Amino acid sequence: MDTQAAIDVLPSSDALMHAAAERFVSCAVTAIGNHGRFVVALAGGSTPKKLYAGLANAAHAQRIDWGHVHVFWGDERCVPADDPQSNYHMTREALLDHVPLPAANIHRIHGEDPPAAAASAYERELRSIFATPAGAPRPVAGGRFDLILLGMGDNGHTASLFPGLTAVHETQRWVAAEYVGEVSMWRVTLTPVVINAAAEVVFLVSGSDKAAMLQRVLEGPYQPGTLPAQVVAPSDGQLRWLVDTAAAARLKRRRE
């Protein structure tokens, strides 16, 4: 695993959420100040949901110029937008309905469409906003994500890059659709091509049920086909792990 990754161990889940919210606000303020907008990819899952609820509170929300924020997602389940399983649906209820974010700045994955078509459309939208009609993402301001938020499953997956599947090895496409037998569902996901071009990637990991896997991902042999979270290594950006003490219990290398 990349030894340059920052690992911040927080004393509790609440402290983790506060640290994540502060990081989100800081990235937003810096990006908007530097190049006029903040482009972020959000994660699904229970841990990020708590973050989004915190960001919706005035203490954080009032510090962000939401008119210059563009929201994307790291992955999506292939379900309609109003389905409770939808990452977009969860984020809308926790955050988007509570902040003055222009509708045109919300870029959801259309999970109700055929998976391959949804993936292709999302890649076109990303290429449009980053002004990169072909080729790899450009590691310049305005040409890549300012921040990507990720979670980590207890099987080592992140976004919808699952063990044993092909998207984790993608080298050309920015977005891929894949059927995940483990959850009996089609998923659309950003690939390492665009994730590793981001200015900053932040993992949020909470709970003792993640401790064994976190230790394997951070300190075990590099096996991204088995442990997809290991493939995340920004080539010209920062990687930060925000974890609570329960999740970090087995780590040898930690900073509190």
Task: Inform me whether the pLDDT recorded for 254 exceeds 90.
Answer: no
At 255, is the pLDDT very low, low, confident or very high (cuts 50, 70, 90)?
Answer: low
Any idea where the domains of the chain sit in the sequence? Answer: 6-244
pLDDT digits over 131-172, tens only? 999 999 999 999 999 999 999 999 999 999 999 999 999 999
Mean pLDDT, rounded, of the chain: 96
Total H helices, total E strands in the chain: 7, 9
**CA-CA distance, 82 to 79, in Å (whole number)?**
8
- Average pLDDT rounded to a whole number, residues 178-188: 96
- Nearest residue to 77 (alpha-carbon basis) of 184, 236, 232: 184
Task: Inform me whether the pLDDT recorded for 88 exceeds 50.
Answer: yes
**What one-character DSSP code corresponds to residue 137?**
P
* pTM (two decimals): 0.97
Calculate the alpha carbon distances from 169 to 130, 191, 192, 223 in Å. Answer: 23, 8, 8, 11
Residue with the larger pLDDT of the pair 104 and 2: 104
At 113, is the pLDDT very low, low, confident or very high (cuts 50, 70, 90)?
Answer: very high
pLDDT digits over 225-238, tens only? 999 999 999 999 99
- Average pLDDT rounded to a whole number, residues 232-254: 94
- Average pLDDT rounded to a whole number, residues 182-195: 97
pLDDT digits over 36-76, tens only? 999 999 999 888 999 999 999 999 999 999 999 999 999 99
Predicted pLDDT of residue 46 = 85
CA angle 49, 138, 5 (to 5 degrees): 50
Predicted pLDDT of residue 216 = 98
CATH of domain 6-244: 3.40.50.1360
Report CA torsion sign: 238, 23, 241, 50: negative
